[in-house]
Chains A and B, each alone.
Chain A
Amino acid sequence: GNSVTQMEGPVTLSEEAFLTINCTYTATGYPSLFWYVQYPGEGLQLLLKATKADDKGSNKGFEATYRKETTSFHLEKGSVQVSDSAVYFCALTEANQAGTALIFGKGTTLSVSS
């Protein structure tokens, strides 16, 4: 079945450090890929997405490239801030389903200190 695997962390960084959160997926068709972020006590917010191979999603300094050959969608940011502290979820939706279901990774907790 379809699945998403991401590093679980926690990831602890100092402000202005470089961030990478790895995400790999298994899918039988041609999925769309997403990164969502969850701040304490809140629901999920879309961070970025990519819907076909080699697409790059970007938002708020975060980037991720859809790599079909390595089935990966790693999240990167060049310089993290304390306000980026949150839980990050990688997810996919499958193209050949009758409806839509997001399949999530376990989430990666990021803690940034000043």
Chain B
Amino acid sequence: KAGVTQTPRYLIKTRGQQVTLSCSPISGHRSVSWYQQTPGQGLQFLFEYFSETQRNKGNFPGRFSGRQFSNSRSEMNVSTLELGDSALYLCASSIRGGHTDTQYFGPGTRLTVL
């Protein structure tokens, strides 16, 4: 079974631009979560989608948004980029998103904001 895939793997943007990242979950997985990883703040939860609905949201500004499609693929968007948005963005999928479920992570998208 193919793992979680994320595209693109690397991205360079300038301040003020917007960016869209894509995530394809493991086949059969209906829950997709997004995390931001930075050296200073570590791994932080952004949001979780299940059956095209945002079910849980972390403490990030409204510039960060996401969506999920009927095939469970998900995208996240960051508008008006700031230097501090430079990070590794990780997507994870699980079967149902239950608290005992294992979340399987993709390789991440490395975003650099100049």
Contact = CB atoms under 8 A, between A and B. Distances in A.
Interface stretch (B65-73, B76-84, B91-99): B91-99
Given A100-B48, A100-B56, A100-B94, A44 B42 contact: no
Instruction: Please report whether the interface of chain A is mostly helix, strand, loop or mixed according to DSSP.
Output: loop
B11 interface: no
Nearest to A104: B43
B48 A43 contact: no
Interface residues of B, number: 28
Given A99-B55, A104-B42, A107-B42, A51 B100 contact: yes
Contacts of A89: 43
Interface in A8-60: 31-32, 34, 36, 42-46, 49, 51
B103 A100 contact: yes
A102 interface: yes
Contact of B55 (A32, A42, A98, A106): A98
Interface of A: 31-32, 34, 36, 42-46, 49, 51, 89, 91, 93-95, 97-107
Interface of B: 4, 31, 33, 35, 42-45, 48, 50, 55-56, 58, 90, 92, 94, 97-108
